[in-house]
Amino acid sequence: MMTKKLRLALLQMNIKAGYPENNLAKLKSLLEQAIQAEEKPDVVMFPEMWNTGYALTEIHQLADVNGEATIAFLSAFSKQHGIYIIGGSIAEARDGGVYNTIYAFDREGNRIGDYSKIHLFRLMEEEKYLQAGEKLGQLVIEGEQAGMMICYDIRFPELARTLALDGAKLLFVPAEWPNPRLHHWRTLLTARAIENQMYVIACNRMGTSGDTTFFGHSLVIDPWGEIVAEAGEEETILWADIDLDLVGEVRGRIPVFEDRRPQHYTTN
Ligand SMILES: O=C(O)CCC(=O)C(=O)O
């Protein structure tokens, strides 16, 4: 029987910009730690661009070609341990460009969803080095619809709303969200959870890259907007237990989706 209860493990890791091999080694050691926990996770997720970090000027040389190495590793790992993996995002070289892409896997190691970041972040000059994704990030976990967005995407409520209207009950958000905008991070993620009455599961990196520092504070927020778990600034695994039945309960309590009047909304 499919469970509606999920144990989540968010790998809030440091990322060394420009050193994919070091980052993979770090990821592997955190993954091993997660898998050896007394109670195994159902879903493991990582931060944004965990393979290369924001080494944008060298990104064409460093990016994983068609994500092949990442896909092979994550697929084998998810199958071996019977877990879902939301593979953070990686720099993926494809079609002559580089995309910021998430791959997701089920308990059998099947690829169940991809998402390339739609909104590129100008403050980090992403638009100069990366290509924007063109399709929604959707997947099914234990029979339930879920969505994926990346970092800056959370400033665009239309995207989360579109995923929710399409049935998403939970939303995964890998990020490299830097100081000093912790207030924005927590507020935007909480708003996306409350307005869409869904779980928001956000894994940020920590540490320093050049002049930029990252505060961590990975978050799991329930559909009522309560924080289920929040990390500090250290390298850690953030654990959280969630129950997907809460989504229906909250949607029943305040029938936001029934009360929508889209004829009055202009979105373009
Ligand atoms: O929107 C922000 O403040 C941070 C976004 C960001 O760092 C990113 O998308 O990589």
- Flag whether 265 is in a domain: no
Domain range enclosing 169 = 5-255
Confidence (pLDDT) at 3: 64
Could you tell me if the ipTM is greater than 0.95? yes
Ligand 1 pocket: which of 151, 186, 205 to mutate (most atoms within 8 A of CB): 151
pTM for the full predicted model:
0.97
- Flag whether 250 is in a domain: yes
The number of domains in the chain is 1
Average pLDDT over residues 28-33: 98
- Flag whether 264 is in a domain: no
The CATH number for 85's domain is: 3.60.110.10
- Flag whether 221 is in a domain: yes
* Structure confidence by residue, pLDDT tens digits, 44-97: 999 999 999 999 999 999 999 999 999 999 999 999 999 999 999 999 999 999
- Using CA atoms, how far apart are residues 105 and 141, in angstroms rounded to an integer? 9
Q: What is the DSSP letter of 14?
A: B
Q: What residues are annotated to the active site?
A: 48, 117, 151
CA–centroid distance, 2 to ligand 1, in Å, is: 35
Ligand 1 pocket: which of 52, 102, 121 to mutate (most atoms within 8 A of CB): 121
- Flag whether 14 is in a domain: yes
- Flag whether 133 is in a domain: yes
- Flag whether 108 is in a domain: yes
- Flag whether 261 is in a domain: no
